[in-house]
Structure 1
């Protein structure tokens, strides 16, 4: 029979219970164990009932199988990491080290409760926006532990991601938007053309006019651009690891795509190519394996360079602040404004999941919203 006791932590009052599990072969007596971290006595009683039932059914996880969350994580990572690209490995390790292990690392898997998981998700949700992705990785550890017979149930199941207050506030439109209107784009490109190098102007022009990801644009080689068909082939992304830059194949099939170029962009690329090589337009296909955007010594641009340059221009000219990824959202917004369908935008941006496109669609420009209202008004007038 379990006994219950409350205790105080820095987060408030918690409950624990003591119970007797399996028989110790050395003494012939049942081992006494403790499970803690419950917000209420009722939660502790319900968990104790499950534990006692598992002991009776013979499905209880014995002490010799007790493993910490971090130990399971390392075993899981060793098993799954062979399927990851270097960039994904780096991102996963960083996420666990920064966001997940500080909360779960030293805890025994069997002692992690649903209420504790909810507390952690609540805390993470206050710190970052992409809590869904973090929750997904935590869930993978628990599901792996179940497969390995370390635990019998997933304490993360049923845990809710809290909604932020901003989700109910509608008057923060301008401050929160991470894209530019058409007039802001024109102003920005005029500034870049006037004050920056042709390389930087071409780089920002491509980011805005193709919707390419930063890593995709920086990984471009001249052989990826077909001036006859006016297309650009995005199929690699630039990645920095262990002191060197490498081009990695795009993560998904949807990301490996051909983008059609407008006449202005194709013309600018020809002009930039000619100026870069000193050759005539007739010889545009010489040195096709060279990278489009490089430093003076021919090495790839730093991955942070577009970010730093964009921030510098925004600050010096008091422009509406957006990120480099916001230029990609800008492209999508203008496509919607021009009348493109969600499916067309999805394919152009290389989204494997249409939900990602839909998320951008919900943040389209004021112009689109005004056009929608105008179309409705005209329809009602007929």
Structure 2
């Protein structure tokens, strides 16, 4: 199995790649690996493939073989899967999710089993046990297992995917979208002034603008346009559990957008940011932000007092505490985004406007997501014929 990643150019500015060739495990279960840095004339698919082929040929691997493939356990293969596929091909958020799946049942059950000996019966038994303990993400764990075994076939470790004959768990029907009605929104608005200013603003941005939690966490000072009462949404704050570091990533769709906000909210944000700038300027060496790739400090709108990020999930935890303390109807923090969309729809706002505010890839996604209409709206719709 050969993989590569692009690295920095050499002193002459020529592109380079790091080639990693793996060919199984030795008798002690240690991964067999060879590495080479290759300099290319041009960074394109043809040159990359040729460089990899030449390296494999130099190792006598024209016919790719794998040593001791039958010795590899599920636990050993999961490490390879995470490092050579997930870390290379998928975003950090997906890597964190896969890591959670492994640590919440998969490794405990399959860990010491040899990959080539895992059967469809054992997979079925695993999911029976998962259902008994009411574990979450059962359908998604099956999908991950299926991907892992397919990758193991591709890499030459096994010949058959046991998931093919296993009983695929049924995907749970999506719960009805949770959101506040107009009366419940008024109840929330009565509570908001009692909260810490940071929580007030985070809730209002979700409720009035429909931003996702990670988008709110990723807002920087320059994201706010006070002259036009708008917010530029182009980044999300993410946390890499493996490397234990925060970083800014793209939005869910990879696209940026401009979201318009009520003037009162923008005035509150302006006051909040101006006060925060003064506090941060006084910190001196205690200022502890995260940095861009160009080593420039990132000024997050919402952060700890020293400028360091709060975990995006912290917003959700604080929201649950607020709901409980003030006896509000329970919805998730993400439900505030749904509340924004539902309220806009109830007021007959153009669906295209709602789609653009939410940052959905297309209008079909908006229509499918918010196909629910509450009972009062359905009754009003049916009453229209009474006026004919």
Q: What secondary structure, in the 3-state scheme, does the structure 2 residue paired with 1:259 have?
A: strand
2:124 to 92, 111, 118: 118
1:8 aligns with none
The Cα shift of 1:217 comes to 0.7
2:308 to 295, 299, 304: 299
The Cα shift of 1:65 comes to 3.4
Note if contact 1:125-1:162 (Cα within 8 Å) is conserved in structure 2.
Answer: no
1:212 aligns with 211
Task: Deviation per CA, 1:259-305: give whole Å up to 9, x if none.
Answer: 222334333323433454579xxxxxxxx963212333343334343
2:96 aligns with 90
Note if contact 1:245-1:300 (Cα within 8 Å) is conserved in structure 2.
Answer: no
Larger Rg: 1
The runs of 5 or more residues in structure 1 that have no matched partner are 1-60, 280-287
Q: Equivalents in 2 of 1:353, 1:112: separation in Å?
A: 42
Task: Deviation per CA, 1:296-351: give whole Å up to 9, x if none.
Answer: 33433343432333222222221112222222222232233333566654543334
TM-score (norm 2): 0.65
The runs of 5 or more residues in structure 2 that have no matched partner are 1-65, 280-296
The Cα shift of 1:188 comes to 1.7
Task: Deviation per CA, 1:241-265: give whole Å up to 9, x if none.
Answer: 5797633222544453322223343
2:43 aligns with none
Q: Equivalents in 1 of 2:109, 2:386: separation in Å?
A: 56
The Cα shift of 1:124 comes to 3.5
1:149 aligns with 156
1:69 aligns with 74
1:162 aligns with 170
1:189 aligns with 189
Q: Equivalents in 2 of 1:136, 1:220: separation in Å?
A: 33
2:317 aligns with 308
The Cα shift of 1:228 comes to 3.0
Q: Equivalents in 2 of 1:323, 1:91: separation in Å?
A: 19
Task: Deviation per CA, 1:167-217: give whole Å up to 9, x if none.
Answer: 69xxxx9xx763222222222232121x22322211110121222222221
Q: Equivalents in 1 of 2:353, 2:94: separation in Å?
A: 27
Task: Deviation per CA, 1:9-33: give whole Å up to 9, x if none.
Answer: xxxxxxxxxxxxxxxxxxxxxxxxx
Query: Does 2:327 correspond to 1:322?
Result: no
2:178 aligns with 178
1:246 aligns with 246
Distance 1:143 1:329, change over 3 A: same
The Cα shift of 1:220 comes to 0.9
Q: Equivalents in 1 of 2:144, 2:255: separation in Å?
A: 23
1:10-25 equivalences in 2 (<5 Å):
none
2:230 aligns with 231
Root-mean-square deviation (Å)? 3.6
Distance 1:273 1:130, change over 3 A: same
The Cα shift of 1:223 comes to 0.4
Q: What secondary structure, in the 3-state scheme, does the structure 1 residue paired with 2:247 have?
A: strand
Q: Equivalents in 1 of 2:161, 2:350: separation in Å?
A: 40
Count of aligned pairs? 302
1:260 aligns with 260
Query: Does 2:147 correspond to 1:140?
Result: yes
Q: What secondary structure, in the 3-state scheme, does the structure 1 residue paired with 2:162 have?
A: coil
Q: Equivalents in 2 of 1:112, 1:346: separation in Å?
A: 45
Distance 1:123 1:350, change over 3 A: farther
